Amino acid sequence: GNVSLGIGLEHQSNGRSQLLSRSWNRVYTEFIFEKDDFIMALRPWYRLKEDEKLTPLATEGDDNPDIADYMGNFELTLGYHWNKFEFTAMARQNFSTNNGALQLDVTYPLWGRLLGYAQYFNGYGESLIDYDHRQQKIGLGIALTNYF
């Protein structure tokens, strides 16, 4: 199998301002193991804290100081390629708040190189704007590439 290790700094933002602004910065390490048709990626992170906002409308300061309570401290992704199907499962968790998310994905052939895509999501952080609202969603669409 193949093993890789990566480190990085990530900024994620929804690009909105003031009361609708959501963003966070984090440093992470990523461990990836791949063998044959299986892949596993573990990505623990540490959220870089920002100064508190003086007022809710202030442009400087932390837009969402509790985001790690919902988005967790790590992400584990497992993937398996079987025949022409790819299955992936992603889990995030914060053990101190017991909040997290589970996402299941499958890609499948439709026509030529075009892939169908189905997704199930349950938990927190499906989007940044409502990271602190538990959601359950099912989605269908097309995929331009496979996961691996």
Cβ neighbours of residue 27 closer than 8 Å, sequence gap 6 or more: 7, 8, 9, 10, 45, 46, 48
Strand partners, 115: 109, 143
Phi, psi at residue 127, to the nearest 5°? Answer: -140, 160
Catalytic residues: 11, 13
Contacts of 2-7 with CB under 8 Å at 24 or more apart are 2/32, 2/33, 2/34, 2/35, 3/31, 3/32, 3/33, 3/34, 4/30, 4/31, 4/32, 5/29, 5/30, 5/31, 5/32, 6/30, 6/32
Phi, psi at residue 137, to the nearest 5°? Answer: -140, 150
